[in-house]
Structure 1
Amino acid sequence: MRQKEQMSKGLPKKLPVAGVKHVIVVASGKGGVGKSTTAVNLALGIAASDTSRSVGLLDADIYGPSIPKMMNLGGGVELTEQQLMKPLVNYGIKCMSMGFMVDEKSPIVWRGLMVMSAIQRLLRQVAWGPLDYLVIDMPPGTGDAQLTLSQNIPISGAVIVTTPQDIALLDARKGAEMFRKVEVPVLGLVQNMSVYICPNCGHQEHIFGHGGGHRVAKDMGMDVLGDVPLHLSIRQTSDSGKPIVVSDPDSPQAMAYRSIADETIKRLPPPLQ
């Protein structure tokens, strides 16, 4: 309780992102669990369920931006008359990433303060609105980026991505607990790579363990938003810039993401603005 009070004490007032009704962060306690793939297909799933929805996708993983490749976007960023950056658009989703402004082969070697400044620019100096939902692909872990975002903008909720593997589940617990400490609602957990499905014979194998995400969710009083299988098509479509939700919308894999999107929307509080 004392730690929570110390984290909240003296914080600046949270200012909404102009023109955005809901901010949803997609986070993971560690890398390699499919967080970015989930963020991309979640955003596409939210838009696919209701074509009247306006959806944006922000790549806050400054050191390892994945959104440009997954959303098949690239090139320079143009400015509006108000000197705001114009999001790049594909599949009806407005996207912004540091990857649009640097060569994909060049590493970003920045200290923490520079990363925080970049994230603030991607939030405040982009012509996002009007948007019903802004999905933010967070960097892995529980560091400066997560804390800065949580303390500076009102967040409607966090989606925690994990695999059933014990090591991933330990970090997923930490991620969920961090958001609770900074008073960000945890909407639920996505158990990624829940089961391997052989594309040839359909045989199923629980490579990373079975049901671990559901046990953690129950222990922490969280909902499980859905399970996503480990399937070759998800990797292939992500790498080709044609995510599974748009390239094969009727597949079981795409339907899993669309179901997760529906469950996420159900748990959101009233709009931020």
Structure 2
Amino acid sequence: MTAITQEQIRAAIDSCADPDLKQSLLAAGCVQHIAVDAECIDIRLQLGHACVSRHPAIKQALTEQIEPLAGGRRIDIVLTQQISAHPGPKKLPGLAGVKNIIAVASGKGGVGKSTTTVNLALALAAEGARVGILDADIYGPSQGMMLGVAEGERPDTAEEKYFKPIIRHGLQSMSMSYLVDENTPMVWRGPMVSGAMQQLLNQTLWQDLDYLLIDMPPGTGDIQLTLAQRVPVSAAVIVTTPQDIALLDAQKGIEMFRKVDIPVLGVIENMSVHICSECGHEEALFGADGGERIARQYHTELLGQLPLALSIREQTDAGKPTVVAEPNSPHALRYKAIARRASALLAEKSQQVGNFMPNIAVEHD
């Protein structure tokens, strides 16, 4: 039987790239175990980001690379994913039940941040992660409606001091809208709002979350500062439209996170084009390439572009956002691509990436 060397197998794995990490599986430190005997080539891989939809294609690509070397041996590839905690740079105490906190922010209102947040959360869940949402927009909470939580539904409590998150579409969620009547205005000053946000965050019994997405209010005010100073945020994502005024405010948001040492994973450009429902013609109503320009200016990444689409609005207003309403639609696939890339970028921050040496055992008869 043809002998297989350690270097041949490593070279084959090194030739296969993870499309979301944008580096080889070997360089990314994904290989946990390699063993070869007379009958089988056994490979165990573990990815550190949410991407279950990619697993079949990765396994197939790796199998095709190894088959010419196999010499008739069976190829057994086991691919799993394990999302690690990536603490924020301030080394604040972690939040119980949560590995990673991602702030989804915008410089101004009306750019579709909340719609993007809920679909991004659902996309991460569809890619195999355990995900929660905290609606931190105390004045104008909207996640309850977007998730289809009925008006008047209240979270259960535990130990007379904790809330249990309300679960919809597989997401754990908490929002001020769950605690007050939806017609009750929050006529509060800044410190009260910041205190309410911290209570919602810390007094919710989050259950083993890989990611908690915080739907931030627009701007750079009290809640943003409180979040930066007292919450172990792993990273932030900025949502904008291509419109110049929105980009100006998005720049302020990026600058704010930079000043408080919270890394920005990238920019999501919402409402990038309008697609005519009759003829399919695309028109950039709010300008073109704005998200790409701001990402380039701040040395971050354009995570993706989303169209101005009637279906996205209708589905979200109905409490069944696009990723669950039409999981295989072009719009849902865009959200999933953004989710995979954001998850991969956060995984790259782990100090262990690229440093793990697999256990390789080669046996010859």
If asked which structure has higher relative contact order (CA below 8 Å, sep 6+), I would say: 1
Equivalent residue of 1:150, what SS? helix
What does the per-residue CA deviation read over 1:154-194, in whole Å, with 9 as the maximum and x for residues that have no partner? 11110000000000000000000100110000000000000
Mapping of 1:202-221 within 5 angstroms?
Answer: 202-221=280-299
Mapping of 1:38-187 within 5 angstroms?
Answer: 38-50=116-128, 53-74=129-150, 75-81=153-159, 83-187=161-265
The CA distance in 2 between the partners of 1:264 and 1:76, in whole Å, is 32
- Given that 1:56 and 1:131 are in contact with CA atoms closer than 8 Å, whether structure 2 keeps it comes out as yes
Deviation at 1:83, TM superposition (A): 2.7
Q: Does 1:270 align with 2:350?
A: yes
Equivalent residue of 2:225, what SS? helix
Give the TM-score, by structure 1 length. 0.92
- Given that 1:87 and 1:94 are in contact with CA atoms closer than 8 Å, whether structure 2 keeps it comes out as yes
Pairwise CA RMSD = 1.3
Which amino acid in the other structure matches residue 64 of structure 1? G
The CA distance in 1 between the partners of 2:164 and 2:201, in whole Å, is 12
Equivalent residue of 2:121, what SS? helix
What does the per-residue CA deviation read over 1:210-245, in whole Å, with 9 as the maximum and x for residues that have no partner? 111101111111100000000110000011000000
Q: Please list every run of at least 4 consecutive aligned residues from structure 1 whose deviation after the TM superposition is greater than 4 angstroms.
A: none
- Given that 1:165 and 1:209 are in contact with CA atoms closer than 8 Å, whether structure 2 keeps it comes out as yes
> Who is 2:360 aligned against?
none
Q: Does 1:227 align with 2:316?
A: no
Give the TM-score, by structure 2 length. 0.69
Which of 176, 188, 197 is residue 266 of structure 2 equivalent to?
188
The CA distance in 2 between the partners of 1:138 and 1:226, in whole Å, is 19
Deviation at 1:92, TM superposition (A): 0.4
Which of 100, 119, 123 is residue 22 of structure 1 equivalent to?
100
- Given that 1:13 and 1:152 are in contact with CA atoms closer than 8 Å, whether structure 2 keeps it comes out as no
The CA distance in 1 between the partners of 2:326 and 2:293, in whole Å, is 31
- Given that 2:91 and 2:232 are in contact with CA atoms closer than 8 Å, whether structure 1 keeps it comes out as no
Which amino acid in the other structure matches residue 281 of structure 2? H
- Given that 2:267 and 2:291 are in contact with CA atoms closer than 8 Å, whether structure 1 keeps it comes out as yes
Which amino acid in the other structure matches residue 73 of structure 1? V
Which amino acid in the other structure matches residue 133 of structure 2? L
Equivalent residue of 1:230, what SS? coil
- Given that 2:163 and 2:203 are in contact with CA atoms closer than 8 Å, whether structure 1 keeps it comes out as yes
The CA distance in 1 between the partners of 2:121 and 2:263, in whole Å, is 18
- Given that 1:70 and 1:240 are in contact with CA atoms closer than 8 Å, whether structure 2 keeps it comes out as yes
Q: What percentage of residue pairs aligned between the two structures are identical?
A: 57
Which of 235, 248, 251 is residue 326 of structure 2 equivalent to?
248
The CA distance in 2 between the partners of 1:89 and 1:173, in whole Å, is 34
